[in-house]
Amino acid sequence: MQQIKILHIDLESEYKSLYLEALPEAKHIFCSKEEFEANLSLYKNVGILNLFIHNSISKEILKVFKNLKLINTRSTGYNHLDLDALKKSKTLVSNVPEYGSDTVAEHTFALIMGLYKNTSSLEEHSEKGNYEANKNFLGKDLNGKTIGVIGGGKIGKNVIQIAQGFDMKVLVYDIYQDGFLEQILNCKFVSLNYLLENSDIITLHTPLNSSTNQLIDEESLGRLHKGVTIINTARGELISNSILLKGLEQNIISGVGLDTIEGEVELIEGEKNPEQEKLLHHPKVIFTGHNAYHTKEAIDRIQQTSIRNIKSFINGNPINLV
């Protein structure tokens, strides 16, 4: 049997040895995103791609890879891959369905607390030698507030559980209404409009697809509870930068916590547009640059699951297929 070639794109150097030791039967090639995009023909004979969300695979790119059998994405989401084109080319796709549901839920509350307690502004205030309380940085309690969770999956469930610890009221919108979850976690499934109109905090935990793209739009803005805080640790395109800016300017939105932003790929590549610039430097916005998942424990889970995905495929028993 011919030795299979695995191309690892943007894999952190400290994890390379894990793949080399776990998959000694394969030939391993490592490159950056930039090297990959600039030298597609150099890698045309690889059988497996191991990549992350910033590595988009289109039907044009697929035309170069005649021997490609599997793409493993080191993420739960896979909207960076052209699944229709991959299906036509009979290329399998595996993902990491579970690695950071606790991690991302915890980060969600880090953003909420940062906005509700003005931690960034207070730190800056104290760094200037001002150590007394300042009325300009008056915080807010979470206790008794209503949090609207859009997406009742694994991350959403963990957000609900954390919210209960703050004695918050919880509204949930999901196309699948889980009555058991409603009873166990003491939350309430509602329509999207009801959630928008009645939430002090709205946090997004839904995948990006044709039905969720721009989920909160111009019409939604008029429904938002005045003074609402918006948190997005899912995908930037769930809510546009222009809507967030408009909501902030009209004092409909009091604060925004973003781990992701519309046009994130272009931003990473240095193509920051005026709306992004304005949003990222807005005093009522916290941006953490797609780090919600980024803990040691979560990264370890990503690598171990990816290794199992690749190994299982090589052994003829593929797992975690999308």
Find, among 58, 68, 93, the residue nearest to 6 by Cα. Answer: 68
Evaluate whether 179 touches 133 at the Cβ level (below 8 Å): no
Find, among 253, 248, 282, 287, the residue nearest to 267 by Cα. Answer: 287
Rounded to 10°, the helix 119-127/101-116 angle is 60
78-84 long-range contacts (CB < 8 A, ≥24 apart) are 78/322, 79/207, 79/208, 79/209, 79/235, 80/53, 80/54, 80/55, 80/56, 81/56, 81/57, 82/57, 82/58, 83/322, 84/59
Q: Which 8-state DSSP code applies to residue 20? A: H
Coil, strand, or helix at residue 125?
helix
Catalytic residues: 235, 264, 290
Please give the single-letter amino acid code of residue 214.
Q
Strand partners, 204: 150, 232
Please give the single-letter amino acid code of residue 289.
G
